Structure 1
Amino acid sequence: MTEVLIPPRQLLLSRRLWIASCVAGLVAVIFRLADRRGLNDMLGQLAPQLTLGQVDGAVNLAVVMTVALRLGVIALFWWLSTRTVQGVEWARVVLTVLGGMSVGLGLLGVLGLVAGSAATVVAQLGIIQVTLSVVVFGLDVAALAMMFHPNSRAYFIGVRRTRPGNTPA
């Protein structure tokens, strides 16, 4: 008879934090994409040879592709965090790498706020974008921390011991 291990609450919380971070990122993208006029103007400046119809079509494609990509990221993080809660070690490693990259980029953003003029950054990006970026950064840090909490680590060790073919650590 194999022992049934229950994931610790820290690992379950980590899963919720990963998903919340992805959803907050989707909200940030939606707010950014809501400024169609700004997107049209930006693309018109980058490629002045395009007609208005071509610019509008390119912006439509960019919006659809960006939202689809974000939904794919949410699905990936949902799947990886679910596998992590099931005690799958490689999923925790992948989440660590992806989360670490997100935290690193978030840290660069926070340093940019501190080093530069915060008012200028907020004026360029908007208070909602800056706030959502800080929220995503905080959620990612917390999710990583909960994934490596001592109770979570003990759970992974326990799962490793109960899986057939594994030797105790």
Structure 2
Amino acid sequence: MAGQVKAPVPKLVDVARWLWITSACVGVVRFVAQLFDREMLIAEARRQNPALGQDQIDAGVNGGIMFGLLIAVTILVAYTRLANTMARGRNWARIVLTVLGAASVAFGLFRLVAWASGIAAGLGVAMSPVDLGVTFVTTVLDAIAIVLMYRVSAHFRKRVTVDSASPRS
């Protein structure tokens, strides 16, 4: 319908959209920073495969970095598209973001509790202050985004009503 005016995105939904995108950006930036710690990647490859030569280790690390960058871009694009689709009132995108966000919040809380209780250290898992900070920030951003999406449920019902009322070809 060419003359149809789109309803504005409610403020809380728009804030939720930007929280999802920000959370994805923070996580991806941290992931990419870890990818560029080449010395750590080489040491880990050497620890896992001590029989490999330096050329093989270098090739494996280079391939891993390229694959990691591809994954990072894919995640960022997926979260951005889901957040924008959710903001347009698509309930299915809100549900997908809720599932992903709930898993992220649960995992984040697990990491923070494991660190605070000393369980992580007891298992030999080292968590840097940067990792803990990123975990805390993304956990909070995702939790707030979930809450905000459900504060304006009428935005999603209105969209469903408009979709179901439109003629089908």
TM-score, normalisation: structure 2: 0.86
Runs of 4+ in 1 over 3 A off after TM superposition: 1-4, 117-121
Greater length-normalized contact order (CA 8 Å, ≥ 6 residues apart): 1
How large is the RMSD of aligned CA atoms in angstroms? 2.2
Equivalent-residue separation in structure 2 for 1:120 and 1:25 (angstroms): 26
Question: Are 2:69 and 1:67 aligned?
Answer: yes
Secondary structure in structure 2 of the residue aligned to 1:124: coil
Task: Mark the CA change 1:158 to 1:120 in structure 2 (over 3 Å): closer, same or farther.
Answer: same
Equivalent in the alignment of 1:160: 160
SS of the equivalent of 2:69 reads helix
Where does the alignment leave 5 or more consecutive residues of structure 2 unmatched?
A: none
Q: Matches of residues 1-169 of structure 1 in structure 2 within 5 Å?
A: 4-116=6-118, 124-149=126-151, 152-165=152-165
Deviation at 1:114, TM superposition (A): 1.8
- The one-letter code of the counterpart of 1:158 is K
Matched to 2:60, the amino acid is A
| TM-score with structure 1 setting the length | 0.86
Deviation at 1:113, TM superposition (A): 1.7
Change (3 A) 1:45 1:119: closer
User: Does the CA-based 8 Å contact 2:14-2:87 persist in structure 1?
Assistant: yes
Q: Distance in 2 between matches of 1:30 and 1:54?
A: 22
1:118 positional shift: 8.2
